[in-house]
């Protein structure tokens, strides 16, 4: 297929996935900010979220003070923030429009309709009135676009590039979501491998934090089902990083990335496949104890760098128009 077409499809998928994960992150922050805590602690939560999204500086440049309302506005509707939900959905829609001929009618209409409805919702003040309903809606529109894609598109290259975009973006965002909770729950302390049940001081607060992380990736019930036990940070980390059967875990994302890379393989993609495969193998055979021993933040930072490297290579090998050869 055309490199340019593949590029639009890939980014269409990345942007809608990013919008979803931003909504998830905001949603969980809203929930935790409602817990009894000091105003400073609440602000810390929002700040951590901006930090992990690498948006702190951009936010500070526009807002002298940090308030929840300003963060929400910045992350949801600010057109100057390329990662705001509105910017992402617009970018997804523009990419879809550029290649609407390569999409099924349903896929295109889903993206177009999402965009039109978002504008309407924002104009009606839903963000101010009921932000969590808006986040819920964003998640469902993303579910819908994925479902329509799977349910109507031919399983050919177009489909594989869409999937590749979805899971590279999800891997990146999921790692950030895990990391943000580390930032704001630990007050700088590393999550160290602790003896089982070795309660960390504020046990109850921790429960709410980790439950919120789980909820943000729709994994609360999954956790209960998988462990049938109390919530511990180690297991949460294990579930979200290493469990291949948990659809938003890093391991699951890498499985999909590798599978789809293999399907679009070309004469120059050997190296990106090797690197993705190596990362997959590490997740498949890794142990959470070792990751925690190394330090979760350090581990996730390294992971993000590797995802970024894979993204760059995908662009280079497939998406930049190949010169005559």
Partner 1 sequence: MSAAYDEMYAADRKVREHYRGYESWLAAQSAQTMTNKRAEADLVFRRVGITFAVYGEAAGTERLIPFDVIPRIIPAAEWQQLEGGLKQRVRALNMFLNDVYHGQDIIRAGKVPADQVFKNSQYRPEMQGIDVPGGIYAHISGIDIVRAGAGEYYVLEDNLRVPSGVSYMLENRKMMMRLFPDLFARNRVAPVAHYPDVLLENLRSVAPQGVDDPLVVVLTPGMYNSAYFEHAFLAQQMGVELVEGQDLFVQDSAVYMRTTRGPQRVDVIYRRVDDDFLDPLVFRPDSTLGVPGLLSAYRAGKVTLANAIGTGIADDKSIYPFVPDMIEFYLGEKPLLANVPTYKCRNRDEMEVALAKVPELVIKEVHNAGGYGMLVGPAATKAEIEEFRAKILRDPANFIAQPTLALSTCPTYVEAGIAPRHIDLRPYVLSGSQISIVPGGLTRVALREGSLVVNSSQGGGTKDTWVLEG
User: Quick check: 2 and 314 in contact, CB under 8 A?
Assistant: no
Nearest Cα neighbor of 142 from 15, 49, 248, 240 is: 15
Q: Closest separation between CB of residue 4 and partner 1, Å?
A: 5
Angle at which helices 39-52 and 3-33 cross, to 10°: 170
Q: Closest separation between CB of residue 98 and partner 1, Å?
A: 5
Q: Please tell me the count of residues contacting partner 1 according to CB under 8 A.
A: 31
One residue of 35, 98, 122, 226 binding partner 1 per CB under 8 A: 98
What is the spatial distance between Cα 324 and Cα 54, in angstroms, rounded to a whole number?
38
One residue of 15, 161, 299, 303 binding partner 1 per CB under 8 A: 161
**Cβ neighbours for 319, distance < 8 A, ≥ 6 positions apart:** 3, 4, 6, 7, 10
The CA distances from residue 63 to 25, 52, 59, 152, in Å, are: 20, 18, 6, 44
Whose structure tokens read 């209409």?
A: 109
Residue 305, Ramachandran bin (φ over 0: left; ψ between -120 and 50: alpha; else beta): alpha
Q: Closest separation between CB of residue 105 and partner 1, Å?
A: 8
Report if residue 87 touches partner 1, rule: CB under 8 A: no
What is the spatial distance between Cα 272 and Cα 258, in angstroms, rounded to a whole number?
9
From the CB of residue 258, how many other CB atoms can be counted at a distance below 10 Å? 20
Q: Closest separation between CB of residue 109 and partner 1, Å?
A: 6
> Is the Cβ of residue 31 or residue 112 nearer to partner 1 in the bound state?
112
Site pattern 114..143 for partner 1 (x: CB under 8 A): --x---------------------------
> Is the Cβ of residue 94 or residue 282 nearer to partner 1 in the bound state?
94
Nearest Cα neighbor of 110 from 96, 131, 124 is: 96
Nearest Cα neighbor of 262 from 279, 253, 274 is: 274
What is the spatial distance between Cα 241 and Cα 223, in angstroms, rounded to a whole number?
13
Q: Closest separation between CB of residue 13 and partner 1, Å?
A: 15
User: Quick check: 248 and 274 in contact, CB under 8 A?
Assistant: no
Site pattern 263..292 for partner 1 (x: CB under 8 A): -x-xx-------------------------
> Is the Cβ of residue 70 or residue 113 nearer to partner 1 in the bound state?
113
Report if residue 113 touches partner 1, rule: CB under 8 A: yes
Q: Closest separation between CB of residue 100 and partner 1, Å?
A: 5
Q: Closest separation between CB of residue 129 and partner 1, Å?
A: 24
Report if residue 155 touches partner 1, rule: CB under 8 A: no
One residue of 17, 157, 169, 273 binding partner 1 per CB under 8 A: 157
User: What are the two backbone dihedrals, phi and then psi, of residue 230, each rounded to the nearest 5 degrees?
Assistant: -65, 160
> Is the Cβ of residue 32 or residue 86 nearer to partner 1 in the bound state?
86
Contact residues toward partner 1 (CB under 8 A) are 1-6, 94, 97-103, 105, 108-109, 112-113, 116, 157, 161, 264, 266-267, 318-319, 321-322, 324-325
């Amino acid at each position: 297929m055309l490199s340019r077409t593949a590029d639009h499809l890939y980014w269409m998928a990345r942007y809608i996935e990013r919008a979803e994960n931003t909504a998830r992150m905001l949603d969980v922050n809203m929930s935790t900010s409602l817990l009894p805590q000091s105003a400073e602690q609440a602000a810390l939560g929002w700040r951590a979220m901006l930090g992990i999204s690498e948006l702190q500086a951009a936010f500070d440049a526009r807002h002298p003070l940090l308030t929840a309302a300003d963060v929400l506005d910045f992350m949801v509707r600010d057109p100057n923030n390329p990662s705001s939900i509105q910017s992402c959905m617009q970018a997804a829609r523009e990419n879809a429009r550029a290649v609407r001929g390569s999409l099924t009618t349903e896929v295109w209409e889903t993206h177009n309709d999402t965009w039109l409805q978002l504008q309407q919702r924002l104009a009606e003040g839903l963000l101010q009135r009921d932000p969590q309903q808006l986040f819920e809606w964003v998640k469902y529109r993303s579910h819908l676009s994925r479902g329509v894609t799977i349910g109507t598109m031919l399983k050919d290259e177009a489909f594989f590039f869409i999937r590749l975009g979805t899971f590279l973006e999800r891997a990146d965002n999921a790692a950030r979501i895990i990391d943000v909770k580390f930032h704001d729950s630990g007050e700088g302390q590393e999550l160290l491998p602790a003896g089982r049940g070795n309660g960390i001081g504020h046990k109850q607060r921790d429960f709410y934090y980790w439950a919120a992380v789980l909820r943000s990736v729709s994994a609360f019930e999954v956790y209960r089902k998988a462990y049938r036990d109390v919530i511990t940070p180690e297991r949460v980390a294990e579930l979200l990083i290493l469990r291949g059967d948990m659809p938003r875990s890093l391991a699951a994302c890498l499985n999909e990335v590798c599978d789809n890379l293999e399907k679009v393989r070309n004469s120059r993609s050997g190296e990106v496949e090797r690197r993705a495969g190596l990362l997959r193998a590490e997740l498949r055979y890794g142990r959470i104890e070792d990751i925690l021993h190394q330090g979760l933040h350090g581990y996730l930072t390294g992971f993000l760098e590797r995802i970024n490297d894979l993204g760059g290579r995908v662009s280079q090998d497939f998406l930049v128009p190949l010169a005559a050869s």
